[in-house]
Chains A and B, each alone.
Chain A
Amino acid sequence: MGSYVLKRFLSAVPTVIGVFVVVFFVIRMIPGDPAVSMLGSGATEAQIQVYRVKYGLDAPLPVQFGIAFRNFLTGDLGDSISLYKPVREAIMERLPGTVQLAGLGVVAGGILAVFLGVAAAVFRGKWPDLLLTSLSSLGMSLPTFYIGLWVLMIFARKLGVIPVLSNARGVSYWQSMFGPLLTMVVGETSLLTRTTRSSMLEIFNEDFIRTARAKGLPEKWVMFRHALGNAMIPIITVTGYNLATAFGGAIVLEAVFTRNGIGSLLIGAINARDYPLIQGAAVVIAMLMILVNIMTDIIYGFADPRIRVSGE
């Protein structure tokens, strides 16, 4: 197991480096001079020059890349131009909010989806199944921002139980968490419910399910122990996928609910043309996704020893 985990981590190293290279050069293609846009049109040529030297914007691109990459390896992501603090500090302040939201959303959505998926599979072809399958198909098609706006409309405007702006003063943790969490759960549950259903239905045809029933085991035991246990691999895949996409989804969610997180940090950085901050936030979000994918692979190894053996 140890060598499998190690191998999986090592194979991600080139990807992380590639991500950094891609982000660095894409960001440098942004039209317009960051020094000019930061200082405003009233700045003198001398002021602009001082600014360029201060933030290393005067060096040739390969040199800028060399410096940035060396700093990246030591964990230094440069200084934010618009927030007047190190990029790492800005990201570390915002990251916990996003990670908590993504984690809670995936756990809550996951538990709900597995129950709904098992129910749909058990009632295959009857009304609970048809209802759940059509709802999940619709749920997968609703854009996150659209679900979020309706959640705001209902819970903030009509019922008044959650705030319109999550980052306002005097808002409790769960009040600020409820809206984004509900939005996430609606979107994620849809895909996972479908996956659980089809995975369960496939397992129902297996011989060992027939054997378990023939032995006279209680149906609940057959469902949750024998069928669900073996239907786990696709469920893990989709849960991992949901967690990975949650970091991208956070960009939209945090915009809808005006929540502080890495997504809203990124949007702010884009609007301010803050090169180092855009670069840092984008690289960190991509690294989170890579990490989640590695974790998913490792969990596969636990869930199904055959994968672990072939991976080694």
Chain B
Amino acid sequence: MRTLLSNKFIMLGGAMILAMLLIALFAPLLTVYPYDGLDLANKNQAPSLEHMMGTDPYGRDVWCRVVYGSRVSLMVSFAAVGVAVVCGSVLGIVSGYLKGGFDLAAGRLIDIMMAFPSLLLSMIIGVALGPSTRNMCLSIGIPLIPIFYRVARGAALSVGERTFVIASESMGSGRFRTMFRHVLPNVLPQIFVVLSMGMGGSILAEASLGFLGLGIPQPTPSWGLIVNEGKPYMFTAPWTTGFSGAFIALTIWGFNLLGDGLRDHLDPRV
């Protein structure tokens, strides 16, 4: 634990994410305006004492939108990564442990998914399912399955050959028990590294889809939506897109730093 905290990437990334989580958690305490209060007389106002990040094209406080947007964006990203980590790891562990036909079939499926740019796959799944917050989690999560699959499969392949797994098998424990009592815990560290990177990827995907107008539908304030709403006014009122984009970038950076730190921690050679 001490070595974990002495890694400056882990500390910096962790602190940034913690700050973002606290902002999301204490959103009502940090804002004075409602996030959906239209005030068309005050639209596109530059940052001032009343509105520290200015107002958006509908006269709403940008800081307030960004703070409440962090709730939606972080929640969607956690759910999306949750979908990916469960599907990807289970599929990967079973593939790596059982090998043979299952591995071959799952590998083919993953190959097909990896043939798509993840944004493209998110887009077509999102369009097919229709716009909603739940569908957004699925459309962002499904393209992330391959990265967890590959890590879990690779780790399970090597763990499966270790003595304690063979010992467990020889004592008569079933495949299911061996996989989830003995293989899974030893695969987890590698999954954590990818988890952090996956969170960054999810935030990016949500924002990019929002930017393209294919994100979480109105009126829920997500980061992607805020960027999209400010986009037509980028030159005259750059604060809406500017500040919300900066929050997106900082959050992704935090998750990337944490992921880098965890990887260095697990594999100090690099």
Contacts and interface: CB of A to CB of B under 8 A. Distances in A.
Task: Tell me if chain B binds chain A.
Answer: yes
Contacts of B231: 149
A223 interface: no
Interface string B103-126: 000001101110111111001110
Nearest to A133: B260
Interface in B35-53: none
A115 to B, nearest CB: 22
Contact of B128 (A27, A152, A267): A27
B214 interface: yes
B207 interface: yes
A252 interface: yes
A141 B124 contact: no
B111 A15 contact: yes
A141 B127 contact: no
Interface string A133-157: 0000110111111100100110001
A252 to B, nearest CB: 6
A29 B128 contact: yes
A228 interface: no
Nearest to B130: A31
A23 B111 CA distance: 14
Interface stretch (B58-66, B73-81, B157-165, B233-241): B233-241
A22 interface: yes
B245 interface: yes
Nearest to A198: B270
A145 B208 contact: yes
A26 B208 contact: no
B55 interface: no
Nearest to B234: A149
A247 interface: yes
A142 B249 contact: yes
Nearest to B13: A137
Interface in A12-63: 14-16, 18-19, 22-23, 26-27, 29-31
A248 B211 contact: no
Main secondary structure of the interface of A (DSSP, over half): helix
Interface stretch (B19-27, B183-191, B250-258): B250-258
Nearest to B109: A18
Nearest to A142: B249
Interface of B is mostly: helix
B248 interface: yes
B230 to A, nearest CB: 9
A98 B120 CA distance: 15
A251 B118 CA distance: 11
Interface residues of A, number: 47
A16 B208 CA distance: 26
Given A22-B112, A141-B252, A248-B117, A282 B124 contact: yes
A252 B120 CA distance: 10
B94 interface: no
Contact of B260 (A26, A137, A153): A137
Given A26-B125, A146-B249, A252 B212 contact: yes
Contacts of B248: 143, 146
A12 to B, nearest CB: 9
Contact of A251 (B204, B212, B249): B212
Interface stretch (A75-83, A116-124, A169-177, A285-293): A285-293
Contacts of A162: none
A148 to B, nearest CB: 10
Interface in A214-271: 244-245, 247-249, 251-252, 255, 266-267, 270-271
Contacts of B112: 15, 18-19, 22
B141 interface: no
B49 to A, nearest CB: 25
A268 B119 CA distance: 16
A149 B117 contact: no
A110 to B, nearest CB: 19
B117 A143 contact: no
B116 A282 contact: yes
B111 A286 contact: no
B136 interface: no
Given A15-B111, A26-B125, A137-B260, A285 B207 contact: no
A278 interface: yes
Contacts of A198: 270
B117 A137 contact: no
B119 A251 contact: yes
B227 interface: yes
Nearest to A20: B112
A255 B123 CA distance: 14
B241 A137 contact: no
Contacts of B252: 141-143
B200 interface: yes
B115 A15 contact: yes
A18 B115 CA distance: 10
21 contacts: A15-B111, A18-B112, A26-B124, A26-B128, A27-B128, A30-B127, A137-B253, A137-B260, A141-B200, A142-B252, A146-B245, A146-B248, A149-B241, A244-B117, A252-B119, A252-B211, A266-B120, A278-B127, A282-B120, A285-B120, A286-B120
